A and B are shown apart, each in its own frame.
Chain A
Amino acid sequence: MADSAQVVREQDPVRSVLRADGSLAGDPRRALGLTPEGFVDLYRKMVSIRRADQEALNLQRQGELGLWGQFLGQEAAHVGATMALEPTDWIFPSYREFGMAMCRGIDPATMLTVFRGLTHGAWDPRKFHFAPLAIPVATQVPHAVGFAMGSRLEGSGEVVLVTFGDGATSAGDWHEAMNFAGVFKAPVIFLCQNNYWAISVPLPRQTAGRIADRAAGYGFPGIRIDGNDVLAVFAATRAAAERARRGDGPYLIEAQTYRMGAHTSSDDPTRYRTAAELEAWSSKDPIARYERWLRAEGLLDQAGVDGIGKEAESTAEKMRTRLREAPAPDPGKAMFDRVYSRPSPGFQQEREEFESSLESPG
């Protein structure tokens, strides 16, 4: 469980609440403030986003999506972090946070239209307090810090969570944002989903130190947690959010997890990593271990598991149908509508030329 004031030291262990075998390393029930339904809901959401993730990969293989980046294995980080926040807190995602978007209530089919090439941003960020996906590595980090500063100046009480991978911690943007956040005590949580692979670059080739330790250099705490333990992610995020809301500034959470799938649908991970490594991480599957604990606690039985599985199946099916029905955008509108609030005559002329070129092909 996160001690929010502490900077992780060299000998600090990776914090977890649930052990890999599903037994308890500490008692989370009081500390987390979750009801029995709340505990089950974390499970439901992990199952649901995993099934939808698999369906999205299928859709890519069937030519319905241009690209897909699976988050298989990272469900605990997605669900634990999102559910620990207030719905009004903001999330700045990278490109793999489909599960977080689903937890925020964004329609998964709508979200997929981005990967179908129908739109650059399918949802209203202000409605869901969920920023557009950031495809370039680490660009969302300074955005999030700037937004958090705005929140502090406005006194809105909204905390910002920005998530990124281990690879992003090598980017200049990341360091600038971390530094700025530390100096100005921005109410921001830096959630690193350290999944060990930046495409085909393994962690030891990415950084010589520990990611969590880097927070110390910028004057705020960092913690390493078991990112496949949904309760540990929940606890750490909740603690970091409370701290930020109190005005005590940023927090870095290094959630150690593993990307079980390929980097994206265009990648073949068997070319750079071993089956043994995959096997080792399979035993830490975030859903399986949490399910064992829920069953042992009497919070979930077979009927519950089956029901949740069916729900996830139907969500995935609906997503497939709705995606296939998604209308194609009007190219003129898509390209020109949201560039200027008051288009210049030259811009207007460009638009007209473009639209007339569509009418007379060739």
Chain B
Amino acid sequence: MAEETFRLPDLGEGLTDAQLVSWRVQEGSTVEVNAPLCEVETAKAVVVIPSPFRGTVRSLHAKPGESVAVGAPLVTITASSDAPADTERTLVGYGPGGPESGVRRRARSVPGAAADNAGDVRAAPFVRQLAREKGVDLATVTGTGPGGRITRADVEGAAVGEGSVSAPASASAAADGDQRISVVGIRKAIARQMVRSVSTIPQFTEFAIFDATRLLAARAKAKASGRPLTPLPYFVAAVVRAVREYPLLNSSWDDTTDEIVVKRAINVGLAVNTKNGLLVPVLKGAGSMDTNAIAERATHLIEGARAGSLGPGEMSGGTITVTNVGASGPVETGTPIINPPECCVVAFGAIRPRPMVVEGQVVARESAWISVSVDHRIVDGALATEFLTRLVSDLERTDA
């Protein structure tokens, strides 16, 4: 029994996404090869997608009405053993297997042609004739065709006073040179989550700098004994300890009952930048792990997020989030936005030498910024300060 994730294939020569119309299966359904899985609508057609696997549907990755990007997971199926082995993929589309396996995607069309031709009307002779017949001045029409070209529909729309007719499905350029990018997949999910955060959670941020001398010494010692670690596991371990002391930071606000739900499990979301956008895999059960275990699990999650190979179970269920800022470049810190329905997000900056006052003297010390954003419905400034103070002192006391 192997878990197979079926990704949305390019169903029509260069499409970038499709809208899910309906599912023909549900989680737990058994399916045969070629049994209908779902109906999707692309820019070109409504299409029924048959299952490439025989087995049991484990999870559906989209809801009817949602837009799914080509290459994004559509359905995960626990395949029966006679499912085709996932050998080296040579696909032109996506489908079974992963997008990381030598798949060549078509580049999205790059707008810009219209900008280069500003003031120039681009339209086929047929369209120009139509415009003359209908008394439409092409200079006043916004083209929705490739490169801002004016189409028959644009002219017909202008003739009845509607202006341009159809909304562009993907990246396109308007006559004024502005670019409109259709938002699908991860970008859309991030947008929805961020709007939810700032529109439902009153949040504030506090900042501190900690002295990382001992943490770096601990790292050097671990490295010498053959366990090279990044700073991240130390940060996560410190957050876990601080959360144990201040459990309110590991909670969520229940809108329906106006209650605070303090979570028993400590599941730490790790914000990972990927080429497709920000993903937050979740390190579950961090409360019962030591630094080494955290390091091991975090590496798996981060690599999986970048490769796009994580299951949905590994991307949900977080109770608090850790992120970092300025790992490269001059940025010191930032104001992280809470990942709802969590209460707290902690951002760590880069460790680098800074002037610090030690025993009355200004000296260069390895140090880093920490910023903590919290849900003010749950946590007041005083508690946030205690939590942050605890984090700083913990990290400054890091044991080798």
Contact = CB atoms under 8 A, between A and B. Distances in A.
Contacts of A327: 90
Contact of A62 (B9, B90, B102): B9
B287 interface: no
A309 interface: no
Interface in A320-334: 320-321, 324-328
B92 A117 contact: yes
Contacts of A64: 52, 91, 93, 95
A32 interface: no
Contact of A61 (B7, B47, B88): B47
A275 to B, nearest CB: 14
Interface residues of B, number: 29
A61 B48 contact: yes
B93 A324 contact: no
Contact of B10 (A63, A116, A267, A268): A63
B108 to A, nearest CB: 17
A116 B12 contact: no
Interface string A266-289: 111000000000000000000000
Interface string B66-92: 000000000000000000100110111
A66 to B, nearest CB: 4
A176 to B, nearest CB: 26
B71 to A, nearest CB: 9
Interface residues of A, number: 25
A116 B93 CA distance: 9
Contacts of B51: 62
Contacts of A326: 90
A63 B45 contact: no
A12 B126 CA distance: 39
A294 to B, nearest CB: 28
A58 interface: yes
A65 interface: yes
Contacts of B33: 320
Contacts of A118: 90
A143 to B, nearest CB: 25
Contacts of B12: 265-266
Interface in B30-69: 33-34, 44-52
B94 interface: yes
A332 to B, nearest CB: 15
Contacts of B95: 62-64
A61 B87 contact: no
Most A Cβ at <10 Å: residue of B34, B44, B88: B34
Contacts of A61: 9, 11, 47-50
Interface string A103-116: 00000000000001
A203 interface: no
Most B Cβ at <10 Å: residue of A60, A62, A266, A268: A62
A211 interface: no
B341 interface: no
Nearest to B90: A328
A267 B15 CA distance: 12
A215 to B, nearest CB: 33
Contacts of B93: 60, 63-66
B13 interface: yes
A252 B6 CA distance: 47
Contacts of A268: 44-46
Interface string A92-130: 000000000000000000000000111000000000000
B45 A262 contact: yes
A66 B11 contact: no
Nearest to A54: B34
A57 to B, nearest CB: 9
B44 A267 contact: yes
Nearest to B94: A63
B42 to A, nearest CB: 9
A126 B122 CA distance: 48
A4 B52 CA distance: 49
Interface in A222-280: 262, 265-268
B45 A267 contact: yes
B281 interface: no
Most A Cβ at <10 Å: residue of B44, B48, B93, B102: B93
A118 B84 CA distance: 19
Interface string A31-74: 00000000000000000000000010010111111110000000
Contacts of B7: 63
A113 to B, nearest CB: 9
Nearest to A271: B45
Given A116-B92, A265-B12, A62 B52 contact: yes
29 contacts: A60-B11, A61-B11, A61-B47, A61-B50, A62-B6, A62-B51, A62-B52, A62-B95, A63-B9, A63-B10, A63-B52, A63-B92, A64-B91, A64-B93, A64-B95, A65-B92, A65-B93, A66-B13, A66-B92, A265-B11, A265-B12, A266-B11, A266-B12, A266-B13, A268-B44, A324-B87, A327-B90, A328-B90, A328-B102
Interface of B: 6-7, 9-13, 33-34, 44-52, 84, 87-88, 90-96, 102
Interface of A: 55, 58, 60-67, 116-118, 262, 265-268, 320-321, 324-328
Closest 7 CB pairs of A and B: A63-B95, A63-B9, A268-B45, A63-B93, A66-B92, A266-B12, A328-B90
Given A60-B93, A61-B11, 18 more contacts: A58-B34, A60-B9, A60-B11, A61-B9, A61-B49, A62-B9, A62-B49, A63-B91, A63-B93, A63-B96, A64-B52, A64-B91, A64-B93, A118-B90, A267-B44, A268-B45, A325-B87, A328-B90
